[in-house]
A and B are shown apart, each in its own frame.
Chain A
């Protein structure tokens, strides 16, 4: 019973509503489209950062990467713990990674390999580590060793029992746990303690600090060495020995390492950015951020357990880095 007027009105309404729906739909669709080129607009940093190298530097580097990744959502960093030498020879000097971490300076063979492949790099100091010699906490007969005694235990033709090291020590066999030969810790230990004598092969070799700790806590007559971080986080599980370099025994700690008293086992840790990679803005920015963070006490000392760099070292490193970036980008 609808009148013609009514019919007209509904017709218009229907047409109007159709138009409204259509325009709303068009608007909706417009909001539901994207462009085909990925849409990484703006000057936001983006790109991958590939890092490999020392397992000692790994916790420090990955902590800094974590913060950097949080601040720059476009950057995609990854890190592999390969050991200093493994990282140089397998990945860095073949041009596959942007940074290589090392717990000792780059060695001549590695320099040669990098040069052969045309990989240029710059050396940055990341932090200072105190290489820590540990024994079982039940071993109350020992508190410190001199560097000579340490060398006797670890040299390539080592003494077999503790009483050969020092007369008052028990007549028990020495069990050794140490770093594997791909590790920079191993190289540094040879350089600082053993020198020409070389490292014994008669020990349990591993890249995992945890394995060394497990081994040493398993026997009262075991001895092991690794970076400071593990001992710093688990001071009750193991007993760190004082090292006597002629001026009386010094125990490893953040203070003795940064003041230079803990010799000869406090060592600088390095990272080597490749100059070609520094040409990319996000990698250069990460390298700057890294150097800035090396003085961050909460992060370097608190979270990881290494000695932060001093302000002067940081200044120098920053200068070296800026020169390298200039060389790469200029």
Chain B
């Protein structure tokens, strides 16, 4: 203040230079990280999909058959002349600008490795323009329907694959008994109890379920004949999912529609499952994917048809599918040289290998998915438990209050402990002392849960603290007990914040390598783990190993494919969690 006015009298002019400089410095700071990360991702994508060897004709073909129809769909949905004009201007102008700039840099400064101006155009102009138009397009009714349908298709496939992966390590026979004897009777009792409003049936549900679970564990080795895996999945997953979908629709539209929504996908999935079994494919996974994709899709289509708005959006998956097929046909017919991507089907379903072209990530993908699922459950339960206790049950003053504050400071400090130290803790405590085994999935999941626990606790505490005290007092005034207040008021209100913290923490856990090395997780396994106590490898471990291989193909192509897979799974996981959170937000 004083310096500003040092050589001015009264209300002199105040220099704006500093303000402007500060603004641009902060702009630079925010762009720096994004640009660096963007360049890295572009190069990783180029390596993983072998785009450096993609001919311009190949890029053009798919640009015309896939990207252009998609952009047209978005523009049609947005139905806004201004947007259309700007989009076409940006795409056309960007083409000229990027080509000119790229050529100028290459001739004047130095050649840019593994990039050509077509690729640069796609990444610098094409990708942002597509993202922007998708955002604008989703605002329109048609676009919303199209993206909603696409989301359910992709999400259903992803969840189906994830559930199928989890069933690899859990004994399906035990699950069959547990479901039939425990889960089904308990849910049935609860539903009947709610329908007829007999509280006794509702209270009986939990003990009945528990008794059923215990019976299942006891009977597991006694019973000698079980249905085949496919029938188990049909009975325990596909039928309930279809029934749930049907019930949802029945509430809105009556029985016929419900029967169609539930029955059609179920029939398709069952047929698909048996066909897959005949063809030697993993039938249970096919069944799960089909039913978890089919039921939500059918329910969504039925809702859209009911609403009668934006029906054209239902064509979006067809448009994209047709684009892919048309592109493939053109490439095939005219013999356009296509790139040979590292990230392909055999990479995702194959085992690691010494030859780069045969190398696959499947066992490590399964390992990572299983660990993350366990970590999510463990850290959520432990994190929410701790934070509720610290926020709701501990006194704020007196000696106990001091103790709580000391505890708080320690939890905050734990967040800064290096991950290697947690690895040592896991090796000593879980692997050796508790005998859970060196390098097993359980040990890894417990170790990683401890690692991210401070982050989940702190963020859950913040979320609980931000619930207004008025709500608690209001609940108290209605005569609610502390447990009822916590359950009905505090937790629902805090849930979105709690989930945000958990999502961030899980993102860290999936990429950790150091603690896994410490607990002796395998560098390479050749089969997917088949129990929680078998040794496993995780994606970051396998990627790190490949990065050290002597062959250049491993260090560039295979590693890049692994990184992209890891990122896709991370995004899928976060996407699911964010959807859940948004739902919780809307609910509360």
A residues touching B (Cβ–Cβ < 8 Å)? 29, 31-37, 48, 50, 52, 55, 58-59, 62-63, 65-66, 69, 76-82, 90-91, 96, 207-211, 229-230, 232-234, 303-305
Contact = CB atoms under 8 A, between A and B. Distances in A.
A303 B551 CA distance: 10
B354 A63 contact: yes
A229 B525 contact: no
A36 B225 contact: yes
Interface stretch (B285-293, B502-510, B541-549): B541-549
B353 interface: yes
Given A32-B227, A35-B226, A76-B534, A59 B549 contact: yes
Which of the listed residues B221, B355, B520 has the most CB atoms from chain A within 10 Å of its own CB?
B520
Contacts of B552: 233-234
Contact of B526 (A52, A78, A210): A78
B550 A233 contact: yes
A210 B549 CA distance: 7
Contacts of B44: none
27 contacts: A33-B226, A34-B225, A34-B229, A35-B225, A36-B221, A55-B548, A58-B523, A59-B354, A59-B550, A63-B354, A65-B524, A65-B526, A66-B353, A69-B526, A78-B522, A78-B525, A79-B524, A91-B438, A91-B520, A208-B547, A209-B548, A210-B549, A210-B555, A230-B550, A233-B550, A234-B550, A303-B355
A36 B220 contact: yes
A304 B545 CA distance: 15
A66 B358 CA distance: 11
Contacts of A207: 548
B3 interface: no
B354 A80 contact: no
B143 interface: no
A50 B231 CA distance: 35
Nearest to B174: A36
Contacts of B439: 78, 80
Nearest to A51: B522
Which of the listed residues B522, B530, B555 has the most CB atoms from chain A within 10 Å of its own CB?
B522
B352 interface: yes
A80 B521 contact: yes
Given A36-B221, A66-B351, A80-B520, 13 more contacts: A32-B230, A34-B227, A36-B220, A48-B534, A48-B535, A55-B548, A59-B549, A62-B352, A62-B524, A66-B352, A69-B527, A80-B524, A234-B552
Interface of B: 173, 220-221, 223-231, 351-355, 438-439, 517, 520-527, 530, 534-537, 545, 547-552, 555
A298 to B, nearest CB: 11
Contact of A34 (B228, B438, B526): B228
Given A48-B534, A91-B438, A76 B225 contact: no
A229 B534 contact: no
A229 B523 contact: no
A96 B527 contact: no
Contacts of B534: 48, 76
B224 A36 contact: yes
Given A66-B354, A304-B354, A78 B224 contact: no
A210 B224 contact: no
A85 to B, nearest CB: 15
Contacts of A76: 525-527, 530, 534
B239 to A, nearest CB: 15
What 8 A-B pairs come out closest when comparing CB atoms? A78-B522, A233-B550, A69-B526, A63-B354, A78-B525, A230-B550, A208-B548, A32-B228
Nearest to A213: B550
A209 B223 CA distance: 54
B547 A50 contact: no
Nearest to B537: A78
Contacts of A81: 523, 545
A171 B433 CA distance: 56
A66 B355 CA distance: 11
B354 A33 contact: no
A126 B439 CA distance: 25
A151 B560 CA distance: 39
B225 A78 contact: no
A304 B353 CA distance: 12
Contacts of B231: 32
A304 B228 CA distance: 43
Contacts of B545: 81
A63 B526 CA distance: 11
A210 B352 contact: no
B173 A233 contact: no
B352 A233 contact: no
A66 to B, nearest CB: 6
Contacts of B438: 91, 96
B535 A50 contact: yes
A167 to B, nearest CB: 35
A209 B550 contact: yes
A159 to B, nearest CB: 30
Contacts of B353: 66
Contacts of A32: 227-228, 230-231
Given A90-B520, A303-B355, A78 B535 contact: yes
Given A34-B229, A210-B547, A80 B523 contact: yes
Contacts of A50: 522, 535
